[in-house]
Amino acid sequence: MKRTDSNFTSHGVKCAAWLYMPEGAKEPPIVIMAHGIAAQRDFGLEPFAEKFVANGLAVLLFDYRNFGDSDGEPRNLVSPSRHVQDWQAAISYARGLNGINTKKIALWGSSFSGGHVLVTAAKTAGISAVVSQVPFVDGISTTMLFDLKYQLTGMFHGVRDLLRIVTFRRPHYIPVVAEPGVFALMNTPEAMPGFLAIVPKVTTWKNEAPARILLTLPMYRPISYAAKINCPVLMIYAEKDSLISPKAVEKTAAKIKDVRKVLLPTGHFEVYTGETFEKVVKMEADFLCEKLLGKQGGA
């Protein structure tokens, strides 16, 4: 396996990426990957990428604009529309790479990006397969998992950030994760320990994001794109997920023409570590090998 630093441009801004190539493979298919809400490519995604490469697939793993090693301000800006634009830019970049089978491209997303890959696949012709892991599928259903106090507090923070935009001031930031009782994008009991478990010990990442996302999050509904997806989709979701409604995932899956569902008896974050990771990554590698390489089972 060979991993090289790479980058591409999305709407005039550099997105940093890693390009993984399997040794000895001639024009391998490619899996494009990016992380979930307010996260970076080095937050537990490398083991997934390495597993896929071990099965003869190339991988392009990137950071969104304003995150990680990518350029852009303000930092840690969560924006579904911008993220989907970055996915589309990554696909265009991958299609121009030498030594890649550009007719065999898969999208892999987790959590927030699990929704992005559904939207991107619906909008983009020629995608061969999608892996959507513990996916954010419906902003309305996710918002309703939180009580009215949380929703009103979120609206206050979002408006405060908008006022800073129009007055040309630094964004109003809120924590990405916090303990229950402390306001954050994610503050359910599993959120802080689960999220921080995948953050590297040495990192420049800050636990903060501009609050404006709280005003648009309820309106982001990947479920509304599901019926337009024309490639096979593997959806892995969690029975005890405190951030994503399993019923919302099932409703989304019911709209997809060719879907394979796997329900895990876990919470949202177990997919990244331990035995659950090993089980999940094997299923995903098998699915990608089947759809991209035409063979059953992976390494």
pTM of the full predicted structure? 0.97
The C-alpha atoms of residue 152 and residue 90 are separated, in whole angstroms, by 36
Torsions phi, psi of 289, nearest 5? Answer: -60, -40
Number of Cβ within a 10 Å radius of residue 296: 8
What is the tens place of the pLDDT at every residue in 178-211?
999 999 999 999 999 999 999 999 999 999 999 9
Statement: residue 297 has pLDDT above 70: no
Q: What mean pLDDT is predicted for residues 7-25? A: 96
Region of 196 (left: φ > 0; alpha: ψ -120 to 50; beta: rest) is alpha
Statement: residue 160 has pLDDT above 90: yes
Q: For residue 198, which of 120, 134, 289, 147 has the smallest C-alpha distance?
A: 134
pLDDT-derived band at 5 (thresholds 50, 70, 90) equals very high
Q: Find the angle CA(110)-CA(116)-CA(121) to the nearest 5 degrees.
A: 115
Domain boundaries, the chain: 2-137+222-293
Number of Cβ within a 10 Å radius of residue 273: 14
263 forms beta bridges with 237
What is the pLDDT at residue 208? Answer: 98
What CATH code would you report for 2-137+222-293? Answer: 3.40.50.1820
Least confident of 63-67, 161-165, 237-241, 294-298: 294-298
Residue with tokens 């490619």: 30
What is the pLDDT at residue 298? Answer: 57
Averaged pLDDT score across all residues of the chain = 97
Statement: residue 212 has pLDDT above 70: yes
